[in-house]
Structure 1
Amino acid sequence: MRQPCGRLLNNGNENFPSTSCRIVDVVALDRDGSIDEYDLLTVIDNAITKYPFVRVWNLSLGRDTPCVDDRHSPLGSALDERMKTHDIVFVCAAGNYETTPLRNWPPDGSIASDEDRICPPADALRGVTVGGIAHLDNRNTCVRQGEPSPFTRRGPAPSFGIKPEVAYPAGNCDKDGRHTQTGIVSIDSNGNETESVGTSYATPLASSVMANLISELTDCPVCGDLQ
């Protein structure tokens, strides 16, 4: 049986979903890996118009400041508006907490309150927010297999919303972020195998599952083509 690429690259690890899907690749970030919110929404709007048959959009990006209790972010609210208007789903990375030492499990209280909460646009109400779990461990890693990755951001969302809703493999590391042989193996922009960690790697796995779920729950011929 053909294995999905993520599982195949990671030695058949069964923590990776067995789903696969077709992909529309949209370039959003600038050459330096950044983009402002206005330009990002412009890219998103153009993509929605160009590919009206796409129901699931993967967003492995986000701001580096955590959300707050009393209001939703403008970017998250903008995505909610588009999801309602176009009947689509944005699958968003929870974000990565990068200040060392990273978190153990259970948490030991060493991280200041709310510093490791999810970052916009992961607070979008209609979207699916994806956290990270460890798919491997060794004697140096902060957490064990199946526990939340040391860097994955947590909820709640504004107004005590439950986020993230799901978690998929994002890698594991030691307290200083070293992840040799415990990261996610993927393909870089040059077609080479590379190893890294982050919720940006977990999010496409959730997007694949979501695409297959929508395909199963609808009789839309286009959705069926996603399988």
Structure 2
Amino acid sequence: MPSTACASQRSPRPPRCWAVPRCLPEECSMTELHEAVAVGDYDLVKKILNAGCCDPNQKDCDWHDRTPLHWAAAKGRSDLVRLLVDHGARHCLRSDVGWTAAHFAAEAGKLRVLRALHSLHAAMDAADLFGDTPRRLAEIYGHRECTKFLEKAEVESRNYRRKAALRKIPLDQRDEEWELKKEELKKNPPCFWKKCMASIPQKNGGKKGKQ
């Protein structure tokens, strides 16, 4: 994981967290499951899930409300994504600025994870707090294969929702807790985001998402 100092110097997106130290700080509020997923320990993740001692949907406020699934997506671990979902992880849950697991995978260019999420009927066209979809993030970070895949996946995702509505099939594609917070978040964006927004032109050469 990046240090707090590094995180504030990132591009205008939630700071990346793929590099995780072997020892996490004691003050970090990550659960054992968050930690195991973050370091990519499949066997330990499976053991924790089978024991039922950690909530697979718990959000970590110290890391911008990330869930274990967000970490798995960001690190490109499609195997962990499927394992977590099989044990009740919700792919619709969002970080504090509205990122789903698909957003994290798109930013990191993790095509396998995007394919896995799409096969699990995750909403591939969900917009974050500032209107950016996973496809928009893939475009911003230059992940062409992901962008091409998401162009098709967005359409298929919308079509699936329409069919599900007609057939009255319940879908889990809404983070109720985040939706309640959204309006307040729009008025008062997280402080780390404000710092990043101030340096947009320098960080990505003028390539900006919606602000």
TM-score bucket of the superposed structures, by smaller chain: 0.3 to 0.5
Q: Which structure would you say has the larger RCO, counting Cα contacts within 8 Å and 6 or more residues apart? A: 1
Q: Which of structures 1 and 2 has the bigger CA Rg? A: 1
